């Protein structure tokens, strides 16, 4: 413990954000990192707890708190405080291969479990992690690994999102020959096309995939497995195949005509097309339109921020569930995940532009109002739940809507590829495997990430990719020394 009284001497000071007025004019990252002096003070607040819940990933009351990657947080915080940045980076990379991703997009399960949060403010773990990763790149401490000896084993990874990248990284470092297949034009999957630039600049992903390529990973893009190349061909060419294709099958509300109406788009498609066309406007743009976003989660918030940058006329974000409390309830104590209301960057920007929070709670869309099959308005109604079943009010409210963005979650993986290969799916439409295993019913085929777990966080996808790599290595070699 570098500074025993650090948590008493220093207040929590997060990295800042660019002012709303400036940042809504572009798609650049909104976070502004503070320098090393503040980072060392923030790291000094870490208490090096005897039981570090921050790295525990324990499930309490049905929700996980603490880092799923079991990051060695007290260790690298201590090194940051002491100015041992290279040592800190080594301890960070021990458990997390991609801290430049998690330091930007992770909701910081670690911070919610920090003991300083019990009666004060937690350590700025995520900001410290991002700073340390960027310091590593800036000081040329993160360079391609030299792998002088290679095994004779070849592995194909289908999908280059966080799970696929993590599995490919770990198996390549282990010395196997790894080829990653990606149907889009650039690797990165969800990181590249599902998360806006404002949160994760695409240069950050390109930097990492170029590093992996320099280490020996082969990326084959614009190639859809199951169409451009079959699973049978992969199984003939490779000793093992990992499916990490994500869970992009969107949950569509039961509203008549929603699939056929012009002006309705799925959130991931909307965000993907925007990313592809920056700085110009995509074919489906919010410019000058009244936008309604169905879904109150992180993806919905990203859509709010994107619509504002496209100069929408208005934006409304509809959430089926009631608004969470502003502060923790007594039945939601530390270190459980805090079920409290969070106003994210997109909502902050909407408040700045339109003068009010875009969110409405306990509502749902019931009817689409169209002219020549183009959306003009939607009817919404109050909704509540009784015994887990939705009950919708008979009263309706009409609001103008030229663009309806569906951000209501996902119902699992796209089933075409696994079913064509004879791979069993669960009732949740995820790839089936035995408990604690990532191996499918097809012996040489494994699966990880959202495709295996269901739609979740980037940090969970990375963990799944690393664990799957360990199982694949053990299957290929008869043993494994991967952690």
Residues in the chain: 483
Nearest to 55 by CA among 108, 118, 3: 108
**Cβ neighbourhood burial of 235 (10 Å; 0-12, 13-18, 19+):** middle
CATH architecture of 154-248+411-477: 3-Layer(bba) Sandwich (3.50)
Distance CA 301, CA 43 (A): 30
Q: Encoding tokens for residue 403?
A: 């663009």
Distance CA 210, CA 78 (A): 31
Nearest to 300 by CA among 274, 276, 270: 270
Asked whether this chain's domains 6-138 and 264-406 adopt the same fold, the reply is: no
Residue 3 pLDDT: 87
Domain map of the chain by residue range? 6-138, 154-248+411-477, 264-406
Q: CA dist 235 to 232, 239, 420, 476, Å?
A: 5, 7, 14, 14
Q: What is the pTM of this model?
A: 0.96
Q: Which residues of the chain have pLDDT under 70?
A: 1
Which residues make Cβ contacts (< 8 Å) with residue 203, sequence separation at least 6?
Answer: none
Q: What is the fold, at CATH topology level, of the domain defined by 264-406?
A: FAD/NAD(P)-binding domain (3.50.50)
Residue 1 pLDDT: 65
Residue 483 pLDDT: 85
Superfamily classification of domain 6-138: Alpha-helical ferredoxin (1.10.1060.10)
């Amino acid at each position: 413990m570098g500074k025993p009284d650090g948590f008493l001497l220093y207040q929590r000071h997060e990295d800042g954000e660019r002012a709303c007025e400036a940042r809504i004019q572009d798609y650049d990252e909104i976070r502004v990192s503070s320098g090393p002096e503040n980072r060392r003070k923030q790291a000094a607040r870490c208490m090096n707890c005897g039981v570090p819940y921050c790295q525990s990933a324990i499930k309490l009351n049905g929700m996980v708190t603490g880092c799923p990657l079991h990051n060695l947080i007290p260790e690298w915080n201590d090194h940051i405080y002491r100015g041992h940045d290279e040592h800190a980076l080594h301890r960070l990379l021990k458990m997390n291969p991609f801290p430049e991703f998690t330091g930007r997009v992770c909701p910081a399960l670690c911070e919610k479990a920090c003991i300083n949060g019990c009666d004060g403010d937690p350590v700025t773990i995520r900001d410290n992690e991002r700073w340390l990763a960027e310091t590593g790149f800036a000081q040329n401490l993160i360079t391609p690994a030299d792998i002088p000896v290679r095994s004779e084993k070849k592995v194909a990874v289908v999908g280059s999102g966080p799970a696929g990248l993590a599995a490919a990284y770990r198996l390549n470092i282990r010395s196997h020959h790894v080829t990653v297949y990606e149907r889009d034009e650039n690797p990165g999957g969800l990181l590249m096309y599902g998360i806006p630039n404002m949160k994760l600049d695409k240069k950050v992903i390109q930097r990492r995939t170029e590093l992996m390529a320099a280490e020996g990973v082969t990326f084959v893009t614009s190639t859809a497995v199951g169409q451009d190349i079959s699973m049978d061909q992969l199984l003939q060419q490779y000793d093992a195949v990992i499916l990490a294709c994500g869970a992009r099958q969107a949950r569509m509300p039961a509203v008549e005509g929603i699939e056929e109406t012009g002006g309705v788009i799925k959130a991931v498609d909307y965000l993907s097309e925007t990313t592809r066309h920056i700085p110009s406007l995509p074919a489906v743009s919010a410019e000058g339109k009244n936008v309604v976003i169905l879904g109150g989660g992180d993806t919905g918030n990203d859509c709010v921020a994107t619509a504002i940058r496209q100069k929408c006329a208005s934006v409304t974000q509809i959430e089926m569930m009631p608004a969470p409390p502003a502060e923790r309830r007594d039945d939601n104590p530390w270190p459980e995940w805090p079920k409290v209301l969070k106003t994210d960057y997109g909502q902050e920007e909407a408040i700045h532009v339109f003068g009010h929070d875009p969110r409405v709670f306990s509502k749902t869309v019931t009817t689409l109002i169209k002219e020549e099959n183009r959306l003009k308005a939607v009817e919404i109604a109050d909704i509540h739940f009784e015994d887990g079943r939705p009950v919708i009010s008979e009263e309706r409210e009409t609001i103008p809507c030229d663009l309806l963005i569906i951000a209501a979650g996902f119902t699992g993986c796209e089933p075409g590829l696994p079913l064509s290969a004879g791979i069993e799916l669960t009732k949740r439409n995820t790839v089936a495997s035995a408990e604690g295993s990532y191996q499918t019913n097809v012996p040489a085929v494994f699966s990880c990430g959202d495709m295996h777990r269901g739609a979740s966080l980037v940090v969970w996808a990375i963990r799944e990719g690393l664990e799957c790599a360990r199982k694949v290595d053990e299957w290929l070699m008869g043993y494994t020394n991967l952690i």
